[in-house]
Structure 1
Amino acid sequence: MLLSAAIEAFVSHLTGVRRLSSATARAYRADLRDLCEAVGDTPVAEVDVEDLREWLWRAATRGDARSTLARRTSSARGLFRWLLDEGRIPVDPTARLVTPKKGRPLPRVAPADGLAAVLDDAAARAAAGGPLALRDHAMLELLYGSGIRVAELCGLDRGDIDAGRRTARVTGKGDKDRVVPYGAPAQRALDAYLVRARPALAARRADASGALFLGSRGGRLGARAVYDVVSRAIGPLVGSAAVGPHALRHSAATHLLDGGADLRAVQELLGHASLGTTQIYTHVSSERLAAAYRLAHPRA
């Protein structure tokens, strides 16, 4: 079921079964349509807590009142709990959702020079280490170099990489495929991993997966393992042990905008259905905007 259809069915349930007033139902519909616009009309089972957090962050950064954020959180909880009860989704993504406080910080972004040092350190460990160090270096370079989601990274097969063009074909939300570019450092790390590490990992399992990234036992690498690698690598850089692969995605998008990339190009790279979701990164690119103002405005 697509999100837009779920919203209309839920609002009908509110008025027809729970007998809520038309005014209350309209408020629910307005909040949830805003959610749909932010995350796209995607299957309800694919909406996760990160989507919901980014939706609320966006509202917080444009100055929505705490009461508005609380109402929107309540609307989302109502929808997804109803979908869970109806058997439309396997888990409720709002279970770990907390209403953002007014002025809540924007998504954590690692500084570009700090990330460069982290990646240099990962390269040094890969040069002197075993298969897992080579894999982790390639993983970090590709996550930051392309801005892909952790699920997209874990879903990559060997044939999805085009080394000549330095592109990866990923399957995003709604089973939508897109081709994303990545840089020469990521290609060098991938080459080293594919030649010196992946064969050794694949040999650990008789029916080795065709996945690009393999776990220590030779099977397809899982998201939890990627979280652990990223947390160890960049947690100290952003001041949080709980940081995950999404921080590299946030950082890639912000650094692209800092470098002058077009917002719609970043939207396409990240696979966002709505430009509004991508716009959150403009709020963490104030340095670029301030510099442009100082250069261009006659009264700066």
Structure 2
Amino acid sequence: MEKQSWLELFMTYLQLEKNSSLHTTSNYERDIVDFERFIRAIGIDHFAKVTNSDVRAYLTSLYEKKYARKTVSRKISALRSFYNFHMREKRVVENVFTTVFLPKNKGRLPTFLYEEEIQELFASLQGDKPLDQRDRAILELLYATGIRVSECSQLTIRDIDFSIGTVLVIGKGMKERYVPMGSFATEALWRYIQDGREALHKKDESQTNSLFLNYRGGALSDRSIRTIVGNRMEKAAYNKRLRPHDIRHSFATHMLNNGADLRVVQELLGHEHLSTTQIYTHVTKERLRDVYKQHHPRA
């Protein structure tokens, strides 16, 4: 059914034209292959022969399998992009996923740490060993800049500019942005690079330029950074479930709480759309409501 060539063309488009991340492309490929299996099972031998009723049948099958709203939305987005691409290339005359309703995700607010909890987290980072210096530098940088863990793992020595206190970040779609990193992060990074990183660097023959290194001296993966941050947050003994990404949420929330402009926060976070950043205004409203309830005598 020429499935392979259609899929390969779309994957090439995502990688070369859209500069999509490996995570995005692998998810999209998996979703399209899943859809191909479905249409083959109902007797359709080509993507171009899919009709609106076939799409409705596919959606019904997803709901019967009890997929989460977020997963269904991602699958629809992947297939909508797939058909948009082949429409552009004039392989199909219409996108059968254009009119499909995207299920709304439940409006769950992002979890974040209060400023007092952030102080407790950094107070818990003790020790002068190379790995202690590295871990503190990672957490200071994540909180100071709001960058994603995946962006943090890609940083090299050359991306840090101590003269003006900025870090060059490669975000989604390979888009570059410069982010200020603040005095605490600057000090922690300088100490780590001059001392702890040097000690770790000597252990590896490849002499990588990666900023953050593992105990063998090689580049630290994003998965390892998530583990490190998660372990450090767990040791701080908060009474709530937290993820490394919540450091990013905390950065955005604290910036807005302290009067930062929404568009500035959008640019610092590397959000393409302002609506993505606006969720943090809801977080700040929740914070105001909590403070009001705690301190107003007739709340």
Query: Any conservation in 2 of the 1:147–1:270 contact (CA below 8 Å)?
Result: yes
One-letter amino acid matched to 1:143: L
One-letter amino acid matched to 1:174: G
Query: Any conservation in 2 of the 1:147–1:252 contact (CA below 8 Å)?
Result: yes
After superposition, residues 200-215 of structure 1 pair within 5 angstroms as 200-215=199-214
Deviation string for 1:69-115 (max 9, x for gaps)?
9767524224447989xxxxxxxxxxxxxx88856x41110111111
Question: Helix, strand or coil for the counterpart of 2:168?
Answer: strand
User: What residue ranges of structure 1 are gaps of 5+ in the alignment?
Assistant: 29-68, 85-98, 294-300
Q: Which residue of the partner structure matches residue 72 of structure 2? A: 74
In structure 2, how many angstroms separate the alpha carbons of the residues matched to 1:238 and 1:250?
17
Q: Which residue of the partner structure matches residue 240 of structure 2? A: 239
Question: Helix, strand or coil for the counterpart of 2:151?
Answer: helix
In structure 1, how many angstroms separate the alpha carbons of the residues matched to 2:68 and 2:118?
35
Q: Which residue of the partner structure matches residue 34 of structure 1? A: none
In structure 2, how many angstroms separate the alpha carbons of the residues matched to 1:72 and 1:116?
33
Query: Any conservation in 2 of the 1:258–1:287 contact (CA below 8 Å)?
Result: no
One-letter amino acid matched to 2:247: L
Question: Helix, strand or coil for the counterpart of 1:170?
Answer: strand
One-letter amino acid matched to 2:135: D
Does 2:257 align with 1:254?
no
Deviation string for 1:205-253 (max 9, x for gaps)?
111211111111111111121111211222432622xx33211000000
In structure 2, how many angstroms separate the alpha carbons of the residues matched to 1:75 and 1:195?
46
Say if 1:100 and 1:136 are closer, same or farther in 2 by CA, change over 3 A. farther
Structure number with larger C-alpha Rg: 2
Say if 1:71 and 1:191 are closer, same or farther in 2 by CA, change over 3 A. closer
Per the TM alignment, residue 162 of structure 1 is displaced from its structure 2 partner at its CA by 0.8
Query: Any conservation in 1 of the 2:69–2:104 contact (CA below 8 Å)?
Result: no
One-letter amino acid matched to 1:76: R
TM-score with structure 1 setting the length: 0.65
One-letter amino acid matched to 1:138: A
Say if 1:260 and 1:166 are closer, same or farther in 2 by CA, change over 3 A. same
After superposition, residues 171-182 of structure 1 pair within 5 angstroms as 171-182=170-181
In structure 1, how many angstroms separate the alpha carbons of the residues matched to 2:154 and 2:194?
20
Q: Which residue of the partner structure matches residue 196 of structure 2? A: 197
Does 2:49 align with 1:17?
yes
User: What residue ranges of structure 2 are gaps of 5+ in the alignment?
Assistant: 1-13, 21-27, 40-46, 60-66, 83-102, 293-299
Percent identical: 40
Does 2:271 align with 1:272?
yes
TM-score with structure 2 setting the length: 0.66
Query: Any conservation in 1 of the 2:201–2:213 contact (CA below 8 Å)?
Result: yes
In structure 2, how many angstroms separate the alpha carbons of the residues matched to 1:272 and 1:143?
16
Does 2:115 align with 1:108?
no
Deviation string for 1:109-159 (max 9, x for gaps)?
01111111211221xx13xx3100000000000000000011111111111
Say if 1:100 and 1:200 are closer, same or farther in 2 by CA, change over 3 A. farther
Q: Which residue of the partner structure matches residue 153 of structure 1? A: 152
Per the TM alignment, residue 283 of structure 1 is displaced from its structure 2 partner at its CA by 0.9
